[in-house]
Structure 1
C-alpha cells in the first residue's frame, strides 16, 4: 500500500513520529539523555515511552517486544556512551534476528568540528558488525528517509537491528516527509527445487526433522506439525534454539540435540534423510568430533537466512520463508505412513531431593502455569530441567537468547509482556543471569508489566562449574545475594522460598496475582 507524503514544511521530529505511527511503533524504549531531549519533550498523543535504567536493559526490552509482536520495535540510546553500554544487548538482538530500530543521539552539527563533550566520533562504526545497516544522515532533512529505510531493512529477512545516529539540532529542522509505504519480505524457494526435496522426502525410508527458531519466526508452526505428521518423522530441536517451533508434548517430538558433532551423529544416525528447518547446520558449543551428516544420511536445509545457508557445512540448502516452503512440501506428499505406536519421548518425575531441586521447581511451574502463556528463559544451569519438565506447546510461546550472553531474559520478558497485555509472561531465570540486568524489574514495576519472575538461585554460576567437571573454578560463587530483597527495593512484590513444602503454595499465589511479582527459589545443590 502506498500513501501520499505529508505536506512540505513539517519538522524532522513530526515526520519521524508520523513514520512510527504508520508502522505501529508507538512504544518507544529508551534511557533519556541530553542529546535526545528535542525528540522526547512533549511526547505526541498515542505514544508511550518505556524507561529503562541502563541501555542494555532498554535494547533487550525492545528485542523481546519486537519478537513477541512480530514487528519492528523502536529504541533510543544516548550517543557513544549509551551505545557502548548496550553493545551486548545489540549483539543478542542481532543473533535473535530481532527487528529493532536503534537511534542514538549525537551532538549538534555545529559542535562536531571541535570534539565536543558526549559525542560519537564514529557513530556508524561503533555498533558494527552487529547491525544490518548504520547511518548518520548527511543532512537534517534526510533523517526521516533514513529511519523509513531502517524500518524496512530491519524487518526484511533475515530480520535484525539497524542503527541511525541523529544530531541534537536535527529534530526541529524543516523537511519533506517520505512516502508512507510497506515492504513485504516473504519469498519462497525455487518451486522446482522444493519439488525435488519433496520427492526425496517421499522416497526416504526414515526421514528425521530438525527444527530451529526460524520456523516459529516465519509463522511455520502449523506447517511443521502437519509435515512431520504426514511423514511420521521424529522431530528434534536444533542445538541451542532460541525459540520453540514444534509442540514438545507431541508424540513425534524426540528431544533436544546437544551442541556437539558426536551427539548429533548419535541421535540422527540410522535415518536416511535429515531435513533441517529454520536452523543452522549446526550450532556447536564444545568440541566432540563426529560425522555430519551421519553415514548413510543426506541432509537438506531450508532457512530464510542466507548466512545460515551459506554457512552450512554439508547438504543442499534452500533459502526462503518457512511457512511457504512447508506448505509447498505438503502439497507434494505421496503416501500416508503408519502412525508410530508410542511417543518418542516421555517425561520422568523429578528425582527425590533433600531440598528444592531445579527439576522440582520446573515441574511445579509446569503444573501451575497457564498452557497458553509465554515463557522467557535464561537459566543456563537448569536448561536440562527446562527441557524435561517445562514443555512448550504453542507458537510464540518461548523466547531465549540466541547469543549466549547473559542479561537478556529479564528485560526481554518485560518487552514481551508489554506487547501482550492481559497475558502473564513467565520469566524463568538464574541468579547469575538476573544480576546482569536486574534494573529491568524497575521498568516492569513502572509500566505494570504482567511478568512473574521466577529466579532459581543456586548460589553461583553453576553452568560454568558443570563445564569444568571436578576442577575448582574461581569466581563462580555469588551466594550472598537476595534477589527478593533487590526486587522489593525496586517496588516489586517478592518472596523467597527454600522449604519444598512452601514451593507449590508460593507459586500458586504468584500465578493468581497480576502485574510484576517475583519468587526467588533457593535451589539445594546437594
Structure 2
C-alpha cells in the first residue's frame, strides 16, 4: 500500500456518514424540510432517525440523550425558521452543558445571493451567542471537516451545542474523506493550586462545600463523596443545579441553596471556608446584597468552565477536570476528618387530602417509582417541595433545565428514555411547561418508551404566582391556564392517560404508569396556591 497515495474522493454525504460512524453518532434527531432531503436520501440502515414534530422538541430530545449518555448528539434541523423554532432549547442546551452538533439545511449556493425562499440570511450568525461554534463552510468540500471540528468543540468542557449550516447542493459535491480523530481534551488542575487549596482546607475549622452539576456530568460523583467524607464538612447543592450534585440521603447532605443572595449568605456565612465544586459562585435569581462576598471568608472554586470562573466576584478559581482534580485534592489533605454535622431534619410525610396536595402527590410519586428510575423535572413552582419529598440518591438519576426557559422537560425526558430504554423514566412537569413541547409525547409513543409523564395541574404558571408575591406584583395577566385537558391531548397522540383528583385515584394511576410497557400520562389536579420559591426553609 502506498502511504503517500491521495485518498479517493467521495461525496460530502458519504464522507459525513462515514465520519459519524467513526464518532459513534448514528442516532440523528430531526425534523426535516426540503433543504434537508439530499441528506436524508437513501437513509443508511445502520442509522436511527428520531423524528420530533417541532424543532424545539428535537433539540430537547437530543439534549436529554446527550446528557444521559455523556456523548455528543447529532441534530438535523430545517433552515431559518426551523432553527428559530429551536433556539429556546438551544439556549437551554448551552446552559445544561449538553454536547451536540446541530446541522441545518440551507438553500442551494447558486440561489443565496437573491434572498431565496427558505434561504437563511447570515445562517451562522443566527444561533449565536448560544452555541460554542457556528459556521457555514465556504466550500462544499469543507462540510465534513466543519462537522468534525464542531464535534470536537462540543466535546470540550464545558460541553455545549455547536452549529453547521449546510447548503442543500453541498451533499452531492466531491470531497476528501475525513477520519474521526481521537480527542482527549480534559486537563488536570494545576498541582500547585491544589496544594494551596489542601492547606487552606486543613487549616479551616468549619469548612462547607457547595456542589453543582458538573460533578455528575463528569462522572466524578464517587470522588466527590470521598472528598466530602475526607473533609467531614456539610454539603449544599448549588442554586438551580440541573443534575444530582450530591446523594440527598447522605449524612453530610445539608440541603439545596436558593437562588437568593441573602439566603445563600445565611446558609454559608457561619463557616470559615467555602469550597464550591462544579458550579458558579453563585447563580442568583433575585436581586440583593450577598453579605458572604464582603465577609472575608475564603471561597475556593473548582470548575471546568472558565467563564463561570472568570465571572465569580470573589475567591480563588482552580480550572480543570473534576474527575482528575477531586481525587488529587483528597490525597493532598493532611488533617483529620472533622466530626460529622448534626443530622439534617427530615419533614414528616404529608397527609392525604382531597383535592390532592402537591407535597402528598410528590411523596406518593417517590414511593411509586422503581429504585433505579430516572427523574426529569420541569415543574419549577414545585421544585422546593420535590426536593423535600423526593430525595435523589443515585448518580445520573436526575435532570432538569439550567436555563430557566420552559419547554425542555418533556422532550428531554424522551431523550433520556431513548438513552436508557431498560429503565423507567419519570417526567415530572407543570401544566404550563407541558404546553411548550407537547409534541414530544408523539415521539415517545412511536419509540415505545417506558416513560411516565406526571402533570401537576394547578391551572396556571405557578412559578409566576409565587414570584409575583416576591416582587409584590398584583393582578398580573397571563398567569391562569384554565380548561386544559392533558389526558385528552395525550390520547390524541396515542398515549394512554388518567386523571387523579383523590389519593386513591393517584395511587392507582401511578402504579399503572410505572408498570406500563410504553408511555403513560397521569394528570394530577392540585391546589393552585403554593409557597413562594424563596420562602426560607
Which band: TM-score by shorter chain?
over 0.9
What is the rounded CA distance, in whole Å, between the counterparts of 2:296 and 2:136 in structure 1?
Answer: 53
Contact 1:261 1:288 in 2 (8 A): yes
Contact 1:497 1:519 in 2 (8 A): yes
Question: Structure 1 residues 488, 210: CA separation in 2 closer, same or farther (over 3 Å shift)?
Answer: same
Contact 2:298 2:315 in 1 (8 A): yes
Matches within 5 A, 1:373-522: 373-469=373-469, 471-522=474-525
What is the rounded CA distance, in whole Å, between the counterparts of 1:152 and 1:5 in structure 2?
Answer: 27
Q: 1:50: Cα distance to partner?
A: 0.6
Determine whether 1:320 maps to 2:320: yes
Count residues in correspondence.
524
Partner of 1:21: 21
Contact 1:261 1:287 in 2 (8 A): yes
Query: Which 10-residue stretch deviates more, 307-316 or 441-450?
Result: 441-450
- TM-score, normalised by the number of residues in structure 1: 0.97
Q: 1:292: Cα distance to partner?
A: 2.4
Q: 1:113: Cα distance to partner?
A: 2.0
What is the rounded CA distance, in whole Å, between the counterparts of 1:333 and 1:280 in structure 2?
Answer: 24
What is the rounded CA distance, in whole Å, between the counterparts of 1:521 and 1:105 in structure 2?
Answer: 41
Query: Which 10-residue stretch deviates more, 354-363 or 489-498?
Result: 354-363
Q: What secondary structure sits across from 1:128 in the alignment?
A: coil
Matches within 5 A, 1:195-344: 195-293=195-293, 295=295, 297-340=297-340, 342-344=342-344
- TM-score, normalised by the number of residues in structure 2: 0.95
Determine whether 1:111 maps to 2:114: no
Q: 1:7: Cα distance to partner?
A: 4.3
What is the rounded CA distance, in whole Å, between the counterparts of 1:355 and 1:173 in structure 2?
Answer: 63
Question: Structure 1 residues 311, 167: CA separation in 2 closer, same or farther (over 3 Å shift)?
Answer: same
Contact 1:459 1:478 in 2 (8 A): yes
Question: Structure 1 residues 367, 73: CA separation in 2 closer, same or farther (over 3 Å shift)?
Answer: same
Contact 1:12 1:175 in 2 (8 A): yes
Matches within 5 A, 1:2-41: 7-41=7-41
What is the rounded CA distance, in whole Å, between the counterparts of 1:98 and 1:388 in structure 2?
Answer: 27
Q: 1:411: Cα distance to partner?
A: 0.3
What is the rounded CA distance, in whole Å, between the counterparts of 2:344 and 2:151 in structure 1?
Answer: 43
Q: 1:288: Cα distance to partner?
A: 2.9
Partner of 2:535: none
Q: What secondary structure sits across from 2:300 in the alignment?
A: strand
Q: 1:111: Cα distance to partner?
A: 1.2
Contact 1:5 1:180 in 2 (8 A): no
Contact 2:233 2:341 in 1 (8 A): no
Contact 1:255 1:345 in 2 (8 A): no
Contact 1:354 1:524 in 2 (8 A): no
What is the aligned-residue RMSD (CA, Å)? 1.6
What is the rounded CA distance, in whole Å, between the counterparts of 1:38 and 1:233 in structure 2?
Answer: 58
Question: Structure 1 residues 137, 421: CA separation in 2 closer, same or farther (over 3 Å shift)?
Answer: same
Structure 2: gaps (5+ residues): 530-537
1:97-119 Cα distance to aligned partner (Å, 9 max, x none)? 11110000001111112211101
Q: 1:342: Cα distance to partner?
A: 4.2
